[in-house]
Amino acid sequence: MGNEAVAYSLFINGVNVVVGYPGTPSTEVIETLKNFQDDDFYVEWSTNEKVALEIAAGASLAGARAVATMKQVGLNVAADPLLSLSVVGVEGGLIVFVADDPGPHSSQTEQDTRNFARFCNLPVFDPSSPKEAFELIKPAFEISEKYNLPVLYRMTTRVCHSNQSIEFELKREKRRIKGFEKRPDWVILPALSYKKHVELEKKLQDIKKDLSVYNRVEGKGKIGIITGGVSYFYVKEAIKGFEDLFSILKITVAHPLDDEIVLGFVEDKEVLIFIEELDPVLEEEVKLILFENGKLLPVYGKRNGYVPFAGEFDVDKVRNIFYKILSDEKFLVRNTFVDVLQIPKRQAQLCAGCPHRNSFLIVKYAMKGKDVIFTGDIGCYTLGFAKPISTTDTCLCMGASITMAQGLKIADRSKKVISFIGDSTFFHSGITGLVNSYYNRHNITVCILDNLTTGMTGFQPHPGTGKKIYGEEGRKVSIEDIVKGIGVEKILVIDPYSDFTENVNKVREFLKDEELGVIIFRRECANMGSKESYLKINQNCSNCKGCMQITGCPALKEDENGNIFIDSALCNGCGLCKSFCPYSAIEKVMKDD
């Protein structure tokens, strides 16, 4: 897998410190690296991406090779230190590994990290395959150390999660960490920032020449295609059999882009086509170079509507782009994937027995008949928006449930506002929002759904688990103590698997007054640990299907005759459906019975 290839290459090339926050499609880099151990190698899951990048920056200033990993929205969180690091500089090689998610498959945005490279004036590598991702780690470290700058390493879901055979020797490069040396320019002040900015612009001109070798021209046709990343392979496949018509400029380093290779490429071209996922980064860079050098030729890309801005590409989409531009029947595609098995679409839903389902419904029934706004957050529990749970009205970004709830309460005081946030997300970026709510007297209710792990990305530990990345003991951070330390006095802790009616009454009483309060719903993720029991339907069932319609649990199914049954392989005996059955038709069965 592409992420595994990056991990192996990092280890081989002597990385000393690897830190990050889990987020699909970036997670497997650290998940792979945690299987390695060496006397000069350290890896951790950090509290959030800003923390991770600042740890990596500190290690770099001491001369260590360091990497911070994250997905594209995580880079937003880490943008503050990244922008300053581009001016302050680094000592040991520092790679900022960012996984973009065109599609998107598992993200709230499709943002393009190459824009951050331009924004920060930093070089960015954009590998197109796992093999290339493996090979480019070494020059990324070397460029970082030569110019004392962080290097962005942008991959996309298709490269991160595709597989390729790579042969290599697992031999680690040993490097001596020289240690931190005090220098006045490690402290960034306005006057020094101006001076460093001037130096940075000069560095970029030299970096252009060094990095141009990673961009290459293929073919001699009069139709020029400029592409990069995984789109390069879509292009290669799309023009198969017609290669003589085209030539390709494959851009591996999107910024800074060397003028000479671009001008040499366009010299004999009749037309230029830009094939790149998401933003027109290459298109805009190349157009600027052509304009500055008085080169005029027909250009087709995103800006004039020939190439889509949004979504992930594939070979068919690229061939259809060529057909639209060239009006040539040989590129007209009738979906080459028609023989592939079409997976039936289904509504995204929480897992069977997920404690979040219980928590949502406890609050929903406690507030039945009331005018309530429910703000959601990023994690498994975003699925609280799905029917029949329907207790998520907003979702923006990590930690925003608590702060958006405050804004909604300010603007619409007549409504009760309740936010839902997960345990890992609370540690990531929810704490400051709760501080603000306490400080400014915003009377909202915050529900922290604590399933004792980072569930959505593969059960990574966080400060609330007390476990570090290798499973060794860290220090456990108590959510209750944080909440009390802020000053919040009204706190309720609930096991969402315990008696449903009793929990509804507790929450209803808790929410009676208009004041800031925190409810902690604590129960281990249903996918962790062993199942001790499951539920089954007995002869009392009237087949009313109320349990299915109320809970939406995927363990509740219908057979070919329309009769309801419980899939014992999925059920973990949480008892939620049992709480809603008016006929006592659901009973618990111990696994050993």
As annotated, the binding site for [4Fe-4S] cluster includes 541, 544, 547, 553, 571, 574, 577, 581
Angle at 424 between CA 501 and CA 513, to 5 degrees: 40
Q: Alpha helices of 315-439 — where are they, by DSSP H?
A: 315-326, 355-366, 400-411, 423-425, 431-439
Burial of 27-43, coded b for 16+ CB within 10 Å and e otherwise, reads: bbbbbbbbebeeeebbb
Taking CA atoms, 315 is separated from 104, 160, 231, 445, in Å, by: 18, 18, 9, 49
Q: Alpha helices of 148-189 — where are they, by DSSP H?
A: 157-161
Q: Which amino acid is at 12?
A: I
The structure tokens 């595709």 sit at 162
Q: Which two tokens stand for residue 478?
A: 């108590």
Q: Alpha helices of 128-218 — where are they, by DSSP H?
A: 130-147, 157-161, 190-211
Taking CA atoms, 59 is separated from 42, 90, 420, in Å, by: 10, 9, 35
Burial status of residue 175 (CB atoms within 10 A of its CB: 0-12, 13-18, 19 or more): middle
CA 66/CA 75 separation, integer angstroms: 16
In 3D space, the residue among 181, 150, 173 whose CA is nearest the CA of residue 15 turns out to be: 173
**Which segments are annotated as binding site?**
541, 544, 547, 553, 571, 574, 577, 581
Classify residue 402 by its DSSP letter. H
Q: Which two tokens stand for residue 302?
A: 């995103």
Which distant-in-sequence residues (6+ apart) come within 8 Å of 312 by Cβ?
102, 103, 105, 156, 157, 158, 277
Give me the residues paired with residue 467 across strands.
473
CA 593/CA 591 separation, integer angstroms: 6
Whether the CA torsion 263, 264, 265, 267 is positive or negative: it is positive
